[in-house]
Every structure is written in structure tokens, then in C-alpha cells.
A and B are shown apart, each in its own frame.
Chain A
Amino acid sequence: MSTSKFGEYGGQYVPEALMPAIEELEDAYERYVLDNEDGFMDEFRRRLRDFGGRPTPLQHAEQLSERYDSEVYLKREDLVHGGAHKLNNALGQVLLAKYMGKERIVAETGAGQHGTATAMAAAHLGMPCEVYMGERDINRQRPNVFRMRLNGTEVNPVTIGRGTLKEAINETMRDWATNVEDTHYVIGSVVGPHPFPRMVRDFQSVISEEAREQIREQTGRLPDSVLACAGGGSNTMGAFHEFTQDAEVDLYAVEAGGSSLEVNEEEGVAPNSASLSTGDEGVLHGARTKLLQDTDGQIMESHSVSSGLDYAGVGPELAHLVDEDRVTPVTVDDDAALEAFHRLSQDEGIIPALETAHAFGFAHENPEKLGDVTIINVSGRGDKDLESVIEETGKRDIAAAPDMDVFTGGGL
């Protein structure tokens, strides 16, 4: 049996009705993913290449290298089909569901990146798919909702609570508990009950497998640091996994500092999504991990300008790596992330996802931490965020931004 814990973190805290399905998934994970039974992993890698466009390049970023006096390399996950790393996991899980004989896919989505990736993978592999998405996120991410619909996926709005990722996960778990016999839940991050955190990491670790080889080819050495944004943590674990054994490589998980790191216990609101940096141990969505919660254990409403990081929990393996001092959690606030979004767009001609922009915000604020060679994971592209960026930039004075008057209907 693969172990269900990372130190004290992880486990399987789910309703009994789901446990048999989770045991079945554990068995399938071990046979198909770990042991490549029936050539599962070969088919997965082939489809990632032909449908997904892998391998993605590791690109030397000339302007940033000069700006930060460090050789900055970009792992271009924004070039994966669909515009984000999310397909790596979605394709793996939908294919696994097919091998398991499941007939229906459900998924949750925050920013819509995991939802669109799952919708694409489901259409590609001929599986019916339904995605749960918070109503507030639906309004923030309209183009992604339409993309899912175009791929034939049903998008079910979740109206309870604040209508973001946390509520979408609750609702998807309820659907799964109802239809567990023929349905697979494609969870979108390295969260949830075992074996999800381990399995999603394995599908995503193609990022660091490629990057580790590419950086050695291009520079003849390992990097001094790897930077990735962290919400639930799937691009983070994907970018870090193959480097965790390389003690000389510093790993920075960049969390959303939101508008403030202070919590409002009275209102149950943490205006950030920094569960690794500020959270306490607890149990949410099937796993013991670090959480944004009040002293009673009620889960806080998180906040970030980027929907994809807006989550009160984080993957249990990341929580463990932070406790072990292998991964350093850091935060970048909404303002700095927006500024980094504009800077990368202007400097390098890459419009990053707002999630990704947090990693660049950290590089900008702490160039001395990068070392001589650094890899920044460009987890996704920013097309989906343009509406929010127009709105959020209009509210701020951002030096790197273009003149916004024409977009915001006159000076604000």
C-alpha cells in the first residue's frame, strides 16, 4: 500500500460512502500510475505530447536576467494546451477514470483553469463531464465558463457561501458521494484524501522532470532556486518534486498575500490565501493540512485577486515540506502581483496568469534570493484574467501598467 501520510499531514477524512471509491482509486493508482499496468503511463505520456504539446520549453528570460542580475529561466507551462499546467493532471485523471471503467467525470474549479482542462480532457477522451464552480468565480472568469461549455461540459453554479473554490469542492464531493459508483472526481490540486495529493503530484511532476533535465542541458548545472505560486499547490509540487532531493536548490512557494495577512476573526475572513505562511494544522476536504481557520476550527473565507489561489487549504505534502524546512513559504500581495503581471507582459512579452504573477512578484521584491540561476514556473497564461486585470488595474496606480483610461472609461 502507498502510504497515506506526509509526516502528520494527509490521510483520508471523508464520508464513509466515499471510502470504497477511494480504496478503488488507491488500487488503480498503484497499478496504472506506479506500475504502468496495461501501459497506462506510456499512453498518458503519449497523449500529453500529442494532445497537450509537451515537453514545454525552458526559456532563458533575457530582460529579467538583466534586471535581477541572475540567470532567470522560465518553465513555460503557459504553453501547454489550454494555457496552463492543469492539463497534466486532468488528462492523467480522466484517462485513469477510463481505465477504471468509470462513465462520468465531475470536477470543481476556482479560476476555471482546472475546469477547462478537465473539459478538454473529457472531450478528448469521450467522457461526459460536469464542473462545479462558485457563482462569484463564474462572474470573474466568464471566458473560461464558455470554453467549458464549448467542450460539452455542464457548468453547475454553486451559490452557497461566498461562491469560490472551497464551496465548489464541497459541492463536487456531494455529487461524488451521490454518484460514486460510476463517477470519478477529478480533483484539481494536490489536495483531498489520499491518494489524490500523491497522484496529482505524480501527474504534475512532469514539470520538474523536464525542467531539471533542461536546466542541466542549458547551463550544465542545477538552479540555485525554483519559484512557483501556491494555492492548493499542484503547479508548486509539480515544479518542486524532482528537486526536493537536491539540497542545494532553494524552493520558494509563493502564496497570495491578498490585501493583508491580518485575519478578521469576528467576520471569519482572512483577506489572503497564505495557508502555508500563516495557517494552522487542521482537517479540510479529506486531509490534515495547514488551514486558514478561526480558533474554533471554522474555515475562514480566503481572498486573492487571483481566483486560482483563493483557497483556505493547501496540499498536505507542501505543509510537510514547509515543516521540514525544505520549502520556504513566502507571500506576495494583490498589488505586487498585479504589478508583476504588467512587468512580465512588458519585459518578456508573456502575459501570465494572475496566479503565476505572484511568483514573479516575489522575484522582483527579493532578487537576492534567486541565486545565480533560477527557474520560475510560468504556471499559466493570463488571457482568462484580462477582465479582472482591467478592473483591478483601474483601481490602482501601477507604474508598469499601460494607460488604462481607454479601458476603464476615463480616469478613475
Chain B
Amino acid sequence: MSRIDEAFADGPAFVPYLAVGDPDYESSKAYVEALARGGADVIELGLPFSEPVAEGPTIQGAVTRALEAGMTPETYFEFVGELDVDVPLVCMTYYNLIYQFGSDAGPRPFVERAAEVGIEGIVVPDLPAEEASPLRDACDDLGLDLVFIVAPTTEGERLERIMEQVSGYVYVQARLGVTGARDDVSDKTDDALARLTEWNVPKAVGFGIKTGEHAERIVTGGADGIIVGSALVDIVAEGHREARPAEDVAADLEAKARELTEGAESGYAQRVPEPEHT
């Protein structure tokens, strides 16, 4: 069992996302550490790519700020190595950065470097199961989990193919479209979870979760975890826009993390208990 699996083993997991280096190296580090204090069970750390096709305007903004502040893959790995947090870290990035890293063509040098700095999982929004074998092999060899996204449109054979390859957790995309905080919970969430019941992999729901109430509702519906990005990046963006001190922004992030963690836990408490095995 990987440390990521373990993070889901004991109650619902809160999985926050931030783009590393947004708006600058030092503040970003304080923000990630604040999320850990606020109750994060796993943290997704975005490595900014210039063409974030799966992201909505909020995370596009984060990526632009981080790149303008000089974030590169190597700086990212140094950042991760310096982090003072005790939760498993997942790298989220696009395939070209993984493919180009190091002198050899192919994903292995990237995965080696990621393992070296303590990253335990990878998720790649533009890498469907069909193209994933080289990365899957490198992750297997180095003991990293490879998380896949399951979309509302993923069904039948496709779903099976993905679920055979996934490890750590499956990222359940709650709605079609791009990332971004929303004011409601998608009806598609429950359908998506229902399609996945037969697989014994933790199911983390993302895309559009903004409040503790959303978290509660989604965990009540059967999710093993919630993934929240844009609602947190919004706090970073606002702090940057208003030139607030990093410690104030970090305190807000920690409070938001706590709200989401508590929401998830409250949802878990309301679930019908599974029958005890005798």
C-alpha cells in the first residue's frame, strides 16, 4: 500500500491543488505548508506548462504568474525538496514537460528526479490511457502512483482500460469542461461515482468544488476524497492583486482548507455505515 493509498484509508481525503511558484517561490512555499496545516491528506502540486488546455481562467492565471516569476521544472523539484510537509505529494503537469526533462527522450528522467525529491504520484491531464505506457512503466519501476482522470464521458471499455492502469486514486472529473470553482455541485458527480463502485481504488472528486458544503455533499454521495484547486488559487490571486502579506494569505488558505476538511468529514459521518463483516 502506497502512502497515497494510506491517506485515503482512514476517512475522507482532502486533496488541495496549487500551482507551484504562484505568485513567487517563497510565498508559494508558505501557501503549500498552510494547506498541510489546514488538514490536507495529499497535495497536488502543479508544475506550470505554457499551454494549460484543461484549465479554466483561474488556474491559467496561476500558471502565467508562476511562469513569469521564473518557475521551471528544475526549480519546481528544488521547491518540492525544500517543503516542510508530511503528506504525500502528487505532481500535476502536462506531458511535454515530462517528455522533455533530462537528456533522454521519454518520461523516465522526470520520474527519477520526482522520486528523488519525494514526489509519490503523478497526474497528467493531457495523457490518456492510450499514450501512457512509457510513463506507467517508469512510475512502476520507481514506485510512484500514476493517477488517471475519469471524465463524465468515460464509459464502458474506456473506463475499464483506465481503471486497470490507475494507482493511488482515480480523479473523478465532476463535470465536463475545464477547471474552475462553481456555485453548485454537478448532478453528474453521483452518476460518475456510481459507475466506479466495482473498483477498489479511492475515488477523489474534483472540478468545481468551492465550499465546505460542496465537500460535505460530495463525500455523502460516496466520494473517498475531494480535490480542490481553483477555489484555493482564487485566494492566492486575490492576495496577489491586493498585495497582501503572504502570511495573511496563508492564514486564509489554512482556514479554507479547514472548512473543506471539516465539510468532508461531516459528509463522511452522515454516510450510511457499511455492514460489519462477521
Seen from chain A, the residues whose Cβ lies within 8 Å of a Cβ on chain B are 11-17, 19-21, 23, 160, 166, 170, 173-174, 177-181, 268, 281-286, 291, 293, 295-299
Contact = CB atoms under 8 A, between A and B. Distances in A.
A23 B129 CA distance: 13
A17 B99 contact: no
B100 A16 contact: no
The A interface, classified by DSSP as helix, strand, loop or mixed, is: mixed
Contact of B128 (A14, A179, A291, A295): A14
B126 A297 contact: no
B60 A160 contact: yes
A258 to B, nearest CB: 19
Contact of B126 (A14, A160, A179, A298): A14
Given A14-B128, A15-B54, A297 B99 contact: yes
A297 B96 contact: yes
A19 B105 CA distance: 25
Contacts of B251: none
Nearest to A291: B96
A173 B54 CA distance: 8
A200 B53 CA distance: 22
Nearest to A160: B60
Contacts of A20: 151, 153-155, 158
13 contacts: A12-B128, A13-B128, A16-B151, A160-B57, A170-B51, A174-B53, A174-B54, A181-B176, A291-B96, A293-B100, A297-B96, A299-B50, A299-B51
Contact of B152 (A11, A17, A293): A17
What's the interface size class on B, roughly?
A: 35 or more
Contact of B151 (A13, A15, A170, A295): A15
A409 to B, nearest CB: 37
Contacts of A286: 126
A281 B105 contact: yes
A284 B51 contact: yes
Contacts of B72: 296
A17 B173 contact: yes
Contacts of A177: 53-54, 176-178
Interface string B117-141: 0000000011111110000000000
B46 to A, nearest CB: 14
B162 A16 contact: yes
Nearest to B175: A178
B64 A293 contact: no
B154 A13 contact: no
